[in-house]
Structure 1
Amino acid sequence: MSYIVSRRALAAAVSLCFAAAPALAQTVTQTLGPVVVTGSRFDSNPGLAPIGATVITAAEIRRAGASDVNQAIRKVGGVYGRQALDGSPNFGLDLRGFGSDSSQNMVVLVDGVRISENELVDAIMSSIPIDSVERIEITRGGSSVLYGDGATGGVIRIVTKRPSGQGTHGSVFAEAGQFGLREARGSVSQSWDGFALDASLGALDTDNYRDNNAYKKRNFTGGAQWTLPGGRIGLRTEILRQDGRLPGSLSQAEFESTPRKTNEPHNFGSVDSDRYVGFYEQKFGAFDLAAELAHRKKDASGSYFYGGKLSTTNYDTKQTQFSPRLRHTSQFGAVQNEVVTGIDLMRWNRVVDGSFSKADATQRSKAFYVRDEMKWAGPHEARLAFGARRELFDIDSVDPVPYSTANYHDKRGLNAWEIQGSYAVLPELTLHAKAGQSYRVANADENGFTPKANVALKAQTSHDLELGASYALNGYKLAARVFKHELNNEIYYDPTATPYGGANSNLPPTRRQGIELDASARLAADWQLSGHYQHVKAEFTEGALAGKELVLVPKNVLSARLAWTPSSGQSADVGVQWVDSQRYGGDFLNTCNARMPSFTTFDARYARQYGPWEVALSGQNLGDKRYTTAAFSCRGGIYPSDGRQLKLSARYDF
C-alpha cells in the first residue's frame, strides 16, 4: 500500500475514529404525549413523517438483538456498513454509494440535534443507549434545505423514548461473548409532576477479532427537564472516554493466511469528550418555537510507528452549535399547511500538535432556511413541499510546519432547494417525487492535503432526483425508489492526484443512480419477513475518467430478516445480507485485475422472557465468512472484517 494511502487511513483511525456522540435521550412527563421527529425539524404526528422514509421501530431493534444504533441501522434497516478501522462498532454507513466518504455525505441527528462530525470520521452512534431508542427514520436523498452541509446521501434521525407515566423506570443489561467481549449498561429515569431526571451508564471492553485491536469505552449521559404550558426546557451532560488499539492493514497474502494478525503492534488512540446541550420548546397558539444550544470539547491523541519512529498526535477540538427555528401551522378547509423557518449557527475549531501538523483550523457557518408543506386530506391524500436554504461559510487554517500545505482562508456562500410531493392514487398505493440541490464543503482534514498547496477545495454540489411508490395491504408492504444524483466537484481522496501521488481532490463530474426496494410481509400470526435491496451505479460522467466506476461502492446490497414472535415469551430473529463485489479503494483508473469479493453473512438471536427478565443468545457472522469491506489498494491495504462471534446476554426491566 502506498505511503499516502497508508498515512490517510491510519491518521484517520488514530486521530478521529473515537469522536463522541452520546445520546440525547430526553425524558418528559406524560402531559406532552407521544412525539415523532419529522422532516420539518419539529415534533409532529406521523401524518407528516418524511416522504419516502424508512422507519425502524423499537420492537424491531430489540427483536433483532442490536447492541447499538449503528448495528440496528445495518441489520434492520438494511443499510450497507463499512468495517470501522479502529475496532469500534461504529461502522461507516453508506447511503446511495458514496464509498469511503459516505459519512461526509450523510447527516445524523438525535432528537433533532445534529451529531455528524466536522472531520473525516463517522458519527459515533454506538454511544447512544440502544434501550432509549423509540424509532429510527432513514430518509435517503438530498436534504440540505433543512440539514445543510453533507446531506446529499440522506439523513438518519434517531428518536428517543419518553416515559409513559410518572415514577421510576429503568433497565440493567449485561452481555459476554467471544473475543473477550464484556458489556454492561444501565439506565434510570424519575418523573414527577412537571419535572424529570434521567441518567445512563455504559461500559464496553473487547479484544476484538484481530491482534492489537482491543477497544474500551465508558460513557455517561444525564439530564433534567421541566415541562411548561405547551412546552419544555432542559439541560444535558454527556461524557465519553474511549481507548483503542489500531491493528493496521494487511496484504492479500496475509489476509488469506493470517487475517487476525497485526503489522502495527504498538499503535493506539484515545478520546475524552464532553458535550453540554440546552434545549427549549414552546407553543404559542398556531406557532411553535424551538432551539438547541450545544457545546462540545474533545481531546484526542494517538501514537503510531512510521519508518521505525514513534509519532504522536494530539487534537484539541471545540464545537458550538445554535439552532433556533419557528413553525406556523394552519388549516384551510381540507388543506393543512406547515411553514418552518430557522437559522443554524456553528463554530468549529481544532488545534493539532503532531509530527506532521500543528494546524489551527476554524470553520464558521451561518444559514437561513424556509420550508412550506401542504397536505390535502381525503380519499386521495396529497402532499406538496418546497423550500430553500442559504448558508455562508468562513474557513481558515494556519500551520507553521515548514512542509505544510494547509495555510488558507476562504469564504463562500451555498444554496440548496427542494420540491417534493406525494399522491395517494388508491388507499393502498401512494406515488411520490423529489427534486432538489444539495451541497457539502471540504472539512479541515480534506483541506489539509490537497493537489494545490494552501488552496481549499471547491464546494461539492449535487442535483438530486427521486421517484417512488409505496403499497400496503393486509400485512404486505412494498416501497420502491429510483434515484439519481448528478455531482459537480465531488470531494474525494484521489490516489492518482499529482504532484503528491494522491490527495483529497475535487473530482470531475460524477453520478450516482439506482433503485431501492423495501418489503415486508406478515406470513402468519407469529412470523414476519422483511427485506431491503439497493442497486447503485457510481461512475465518472466527464473528463479523462468518463465511464470509470467509483471505488468502494458495491453495485448491489440485499438483506432479509425473518422474525418469530409467539405469545409464549419466546422470540427468534434470523438475518442474512449479501454484498456485491466492489473496486479496491486505490483503483480509480479501473486497472486492477481483481475486485474485493462479494460476501454473504448470517446473524441470529433467540430470546426468552421470565417476567421482567430476558435472556438471549445471539451470533454474528455465523458462517465465519472471511471478508473485507475496506481495502485501499489493488489486492492490498486490507482491513479484515470480524469473524464469527457468539454472545450471551441478560436484561432486567423495572
Structure 2
Amino acid sequence: MSHKKYFFIAIPLAFSSIASSQITSELEPVTIYGSRFKEEINKALPQTTIITDREIQKSGLSNVSEVLQKIGGLTVKQNLDGSSNGAIDMRGFGDAASNNVVVLLDGVRLSENEQTAARTSFIPLEAISHIEITRGGNSVLYGDGATGGTINIVTKKDLDKLTVVSAGIGSYPSYQSSLFHSRKIGDTNLTLFGRQLDSKGYRTNSDNSEQSGGFSATKHLSGSDSIGIRIIGTQERNKLPGALPIGWLNSNPKNSQVAGYQSDSNIKTSHINLNGVKKINEDAEFRVDLNQFTKSNFWGYSYDGSSVFSGYNPNHANNNPNKNPIASGITNSLARTQTFSPRFKINNLGVRNNTTVLGYDWLQYKQTLDGIVSNSSGTYISPLFYGNSGSKSYQSDAWYTRSDWIANQYHRLIFGYREQAYRQQSDINYISISPNSNDGSGSFSNRGRVKATELQYIFSPSDQLKYHLRVSQNFRIANLDDNSQAYVVLPYNNLNPQTSHDYEFGVNYRTGIFRSQSRVYVSELKNEIGFNGSSNLNYPSSSRRGFESNNQVILNPKWTLIANINFIDAEFDAGTYSGKKVPGVSEYSGSLGVTHQINTKERVSFFSRFSSEAFASNDLANSQTKKPGYGVTDLRYSYSEKSWEIISSINNIFDKKYTDTAVYKNSYYSFYQTTVYPNPGRNFSILGRYIF
C-alpha cells in the first residue's frame, strides 16, 4: 500500500479523536457473548460491532446476509449455489472468503467443513436479539477458519409472552413470511420459530425456495443455572442459470448461460443443540454445548456445453465422434458434524479484575457421497474431478485459554493461546464407463497440529475514547474438499495448514451524536489455501494491508448519517504470482446512507453501496478483463401504528447492471473465458410485521 493511501487512512482516525465529547453515549442494553460467556456490553472488544434487533427490524431486510451487508458494512457476495446464504468476505480473501470467517449461532459453529458458505438463511430475523461482528483473526477462541473474523448471531432468550409475525411480497415475484413466539411456563422459557421464502429469481431459471422451522426450550434450575435444547430443520431448493459472458452484463443480464440450462439442488439440514450453564461459585462458571448438524445435498445439472467449451463439441479437437455436446451430472452427499465444547470462566484468577476462560473443542465430521458426471469422451464415476463414490472423515480436538485483565479504568490486557490437533481420511472408489479408462480407487490421509495466539492492549483515556493494539497468530486447516482437489491427489501431497500473523491498531470514539470504529491492519500469510482455476494449492506467501471504518452521526433526533469504508491491498508476495493482486478482492468498498425520522410513525432511509473493480476469480496473472466496479442505491420507507409496522423498499433504484462475482476459465472459448453472475436489477418489496 502506498504512502499516499496511508495518509488518507490517517484522516478518519484523526477525525475519530477530535469529535465532540460533550454529549454522553447511548446504547441499548445488550449482553454479549464474544468471550463464549455472557458478558456486559462494556466487555465487548473494540473491534466488535453490534447490530441490535431494532436496527434489524427497522431495516425491512429479509435475511441475515442482507443485514450483514447493508447494516454491518461487510462485503457479502451472492452465493453461487443459488441460495440466499451470502458469501461473507472479511478482509479480502476472495474465492476462499467463506472458509476464512467463522459464523456462529449462539456461539455454536454454523460454518461448515466444506467449500461452502455458512447457512444462515433459516434464521428468522424476528428471532435475533443482536449480531456481534468481530473483525480480525479470532482463532484462539474459535479455531479453524477465523482468520478474517467471526460473526455470532445471538437469538432472543428469557422472554415472557411475545409473538411476532411477518409477511411480504416482492419483485420477480417473491413471497416471504416468518414467525417467532416465546412463552414462559414456570421456570421454563419456550420459543417457536419458522421462516419461508419463495422467489422466481431475477434471472431465467433462478428459482429459490427456502423453508425452516424449529423450537428451543431453556429450563432454569436456579437464578444462574440452566439446561436447554434447540432443534431446527431446513430445506432449500435452488436453481442456477449459469455464468454469462462479461459482454452480456449490460445487454442480457437475465439470460441463462445457454438455452435450456438446468441446474437444480435440494439441500436438507437438521440442527440439534444441547446446552447447559452452571455457576460454581461467585467467581467460577461452567458452560457446555453438544451439537449435531446433518446435511443431505442433491445436485443435478444438464446443458449443451458445445458452445462454451470445445471439449463438448464434436466439431472441434480432432473431430472426435465420441464427444458428447451435453454436459450433465448428478451428485449426492450426506454429511454429519458433531461438536462438544465444555468451558470454564474464572474471575479474579491470580489478580483482581481478571477473567480467564479455559475450554476444549471437539469436532467430528463424516461424509458419504456418490456421483456420475459426463465429459467429452464418456461418463464417469470418479474420485477426482468428475464426481466420486466413497467416504470422508475429519476430526479435531483443541484446548484453549484466554485471559482478560482490566487493570483499571484506563488499561486492559488480553492474551490467549490455542493448540489444535486434526486428522482426516478419504477413501474413494471410481468406475469408468468409458472404454478408454479403467476402474480404480484412491485414498489419502492427513494429520497435524496447529496453534493460535493473541495479545491485545486497550487504552481508554476517557469514557468516549479507546485505542487498541492487537497482535495475533491464526490458522485455517485445509478441509477434505480442499485436499481432494489439490494439484496432485496423492497420499503424500496434502495441503499445508494456512497460517497468518496479524497486526492491528484501532481507535473507537463514541458520544451521544457520533460513534466511530476505525482500524488499520496488516495480515501476513504463509501457505494461503487457494484455487488456480483447476486445482487447489498453497501460495508461498501473501498479505493483506487495509483500513476499515464504521461511522454514524446523529445530526438531530430526525437525521442520522452512516458511512462504512473498507480499503484492502491483497497481494501475493512470493512465488509464481509475486506482486499480483488476489483475484476477487476489490481495493475499496463500503456504503453511505442517511436516515430521516419524518415523525413518530414514519421513517425513510437512503443507502448507497459501492465497490471498486477487481480481477476475476482464477485470474492469478492479473491479465484478463476486470470485474467492473459499481454503485447501487436502495430506498426504504417504514410506517408504524401501535403493534403494526409496514416497510417498503426499492432496491437498486437506478437499475444498475452490475455483478459482485466474475470467473475466468482459460479452457473455455474466448467469448466465455471471463464470465459473470449478474446481481438483481431494480426490484421492489413490501413487508408487514405485527407484534402480539
Aligned to 1:575: 607
Pick the aligned partner of 1:595 from 606, 611, 626: 626
Corresponding residue number in structure 2 for 1:326? 344
The whole-number CA distance in structure 2 between the counterparts of 1:87 and 1:329 is 47
Partner residue, 1:121: 116
* CA offset digits 1:259-288 (Å, max 9, x no partner): 111126321010111111101011111111
CA contact (8 A) 2:46 2:508 kept: no
Which residue matches 1:233?
227
- Tell me the residue number matched to 1:271: 267
State whether structure 2 residue 444 is matched by structure 1 residue 447.
no
CA drift of 1:404 comes to: 7.9
Give the corresponding residue for 1:492: 530
SS in 2 for 1:574: strand
Report which stretch shifted further, 253-262 or 357-366: 253-262
User: How far apart, CA to CA, are the structure 1 residues paired with 2:506 and 2:246?
Assistant: 41
Give per-residue Cα distances to partners, 1:368-393, cap 9 Å, x unaligned. Answer: 00111101333xx2210101001000
**Offset, 1:163:** 4.6
In structure 2, relative to structure 1, the CA distance for the partners of 1:255 and 1:103 (3 Å cut) is same
Q: Tell me which moved more, 566-575 or 230-239.
A: 566-575
In structure 2, how many angstroms separate the alpha carbons of the residues matched to 1:434 and 1:419? Answer: 6
Which one of the candidate residues 431, 452, 475 is aligned to 1:416? 452
Relative to structure 1, the CA distance from residue 71 to residue 512 in structure 2 (aligned partners, 3 Å threshold; closer, same or farther) is same
| Most deviating of 609-618 and 390-399 | 609-618
From 149, 153, 177, the counterpart of 1:154: 149
1:152-200 deviations in whole A, cap 9, x for unaligned?
A: 0001111222254x3x211111101110101111121111221122111
- Alpha-carbon contact 1:560-1:576 (below 8 Å) kept: yes
C-alpha displacement of 1:70 = 1.2
Is 2:430 the counterpart of 1:401? yes
SS at match of 1:326: strand
Q: Distance in 2 between matches of 1:565 and 1:405?
A: 65
Match of 2:376 in 1: none
1:435 is aligned to 2:471: yes
State the Cα distance separating 1:647 from its structure 2 match.
Answer: 0.7
Contact 2:261–2:302 (8 Å) recurs in 1? no
* 1:43-80 Cα distance to aligned partner (Å, 9 max, x none): 11112112321221122222222211111110011111
Which residue does the alignment assign to 1:476?
A: 514
Which SS does the other structure have where 2:626 is aligned?
Answer: coil
Does 2:185 correspond to 1:192? yes
Contact 1:111 1:160 in 2 (8 A): yes
Kindly provide the amino acid, as one letter, of the partner of residue 261 in structure 1.
Answer: N
**1:425 alignment partner, SS class:** coil
1:162–1:442: structure 2 CA closer, same or farther, 3 Å change rule? same
- 1:574-594 C-alpha deviation (Å, 9 max, x unpaired): 2111101100112101112x3
Instruction: Report the counterpart of residue 291 of structure 1 in structure 2.
Output: 288
The 5 A counterparts of 1:177-216 are 177-216=170-209
Deviation (angstroms), 1:567 = 4.7
1:281 aligns with 2:277: yes
**Correspondence list, 1:617-628, <5 A:** 617-628=648-659
Equivalent residue letter for 1:108 = V
Determine if contact 1:486/1:510 at 8 Å carries over to the other structure. yes
Percent identity, aligned pairs only, is 30
In the alignment, which residue of structure 2 is the partner of 1:6? none
1:612 matched residue in structure 2? 643
Residue in 1 aligned with 2:367? 350
Q: Distance in 2 between matches of 1:57 and 1:560?
A: 19
Given the superposition, is the C-alpha separation of residues 291 and 251 from structure 1 closer, same or farther in structure 2, using an over 3 Å criterion? same
- Structure 2 gaps of 5+ residues are 1-27, 304-324, 373-386, 432-438, 666-672
Is this contact kept in 2: 1:357–1:404, CA < 8 A? no
Name the CA distance, whole Å, in 2 between partners of 1:253 and 1:514.
Answer: 32
Greater gyration radius? 2
Q: Is the 8 A contact 1:215 1:243 kept in 2?
A: yes
Of residues 437, 443, 462, the one that matches 2:500 is: 462
What is the one-letter code of the residue matched to 2:102?
V
Helix, strand or coil: the match of 1:490? Answer: strand
Summarize deviations over 1:514-537 as a string: whole Å, max 9, x none: 111111111111111111101000
| CA distance in structure 2 between the aligned counterparts of 1:247 and 1:446, rounded to whole angstroms | 25
Q: Deviations over 1:454-506 (max 9, x none)?
A: 232111000011011112234112221010110000001112xxxxxx20111
Residue among 296, 302, 305 paired with 2:302: 305
Looking at structure 2, the residues matched to 86 and 154 of structure 1 have their Cα atoms a distance apart, in angstroms, of 23
Segment of structure 1 superposing worse, 251-260 or 269-278: 251-260
Question: What is the total number of aligned residue pairs between the two structures?
Answer: 610
Preserved contact between residue 95 and residue 102 of structure 1 (Cα < 8 Å): yes
What corresponds to 2:461 in structure 1? Answer: 425
Change in CA separation of 1:545 and 1:224 when aligned onto 2, cut-off 3 Å: same
| Deviation, structure 1 residue 406 | 6.1
Give the unaligned 5+ runs of structure 1: 1-32, 496-501
What is the rounded CA distance, in whole Å, between the counterparts of 1:564 and 1:383 in structure 2? 38
2:566 & 2:55 partners in 1: Cα distance? 21
Shift in alpha-carbon separation, 1:329–1:505, aligned structure 2, 3 A: same
Deviation at 1:566, TM superposition (A): 4.8
The match for 1:339 is: 356
State the match for 2:552 in structure 1. Answer: 520
- Distance in 1 between residues matched to 2:80 and 2:483, nearest whole Å: 22
Q: SS of the residue aligned with 2:99?
A: helix
Indicate the residue corresponding to 1:15 in structure 2.
Answer: none
- C-alpha distance in structure 2 between counterparts of 1:67 and 1:231, whole Å: 35
Deviation digits for residues 306-338 of structure 1, max 9, x if unmatched? 6415311100111101101000012889x4110
TM-score between both structures, scaled by the size of structure 1: 0.90
Separation (CA, whole Å) in 2 of partners of 1:332 and 1:276: 38
Structure 1 equivalent of residue 540 of structure 2 = 508
Say if 1:36 and 1:159, in contact at 8 Å, map to a contact too.
no
Query: Which residue does 1:317 correspond to in 2?
Result: 335
Letter in 1 for 2:645: E
1:531 to 563, 571, 588: 563
* Farther off after superposition, 217-226 or 404-413: 404-413
- State the distance in 2 between where 1:72 and 1:377 align: 36
> Structure 1 residue aligned with 2:100, among 96, 105, 114?
105
Aligned partner of 2:663 in structure 1 is 632
Output the CA distance in 2 between the equivalents of 1:405 and 1:433.
51
Q: CA RMSD in A?
A: 1.8
Q: Which amino acid aligns with 1:340?
A: V
SS at match of 2:141: helix
Q: Tell me the residue number matched to 1:57.
A: 52
Q: Is the 8 A contact 2:572 2:579 kept in 1?
A: yes
TM-score normalized by the length of structure 2: 0.86
The answer as to whether partners of 1:214 and 1:245 remain within 8 angstroms in 2 is: yes
**Mapped partners of 1:155, 1:79: distance in 2:** 12
Contact 1:244 1:268 in 2 (8 A): yes
Measured in 1, the distance between the counterparts of 2:208 and 2:517 equals 39
Question: Helix, strand or coil for the counterpart of 2:261?
Answer: coil
Query: Quick one: structure 1 residues 184 and 339, their matched pair in 2 at CA, closer, same or farther if it must change by over 3 Å?
Result: same
Contact 1:180 1:208 in 2 (8 A): yes
1:432 counterpart SS class = strand
CA distance in 2, matches of 1:450, 1:298: 24
After TM superposition, give the deviation of residue 240 of structure 1 in Å: 0.4
CA gap of 1:522–1:364, structure 2 versus 1, over 3 A, is same
Alignment-derived partner of residue 236 in structure 2: 242
- Asked if the contact 1:406–1:447 (Cα under 8 Å) also holds between the matched residues in 2, the reply is no
SS of the aligned residue for 1:509 comes to: strand
SS at match of 1:126: coil
Structure 2 equivalent of residue 257 of structure 1: 251
Contact 2:87 2:98 in 1 (8 A): yes
Query: How far apart, in 2, do the equivalents of 1:192 and 1:186 lie?
Result: 20
C-alpha change, 1:298 and 1:72, in structure 2 (3 Å) is same
Aligned to 1:28: none
Aligned-pair distance for 1:220? 0.4
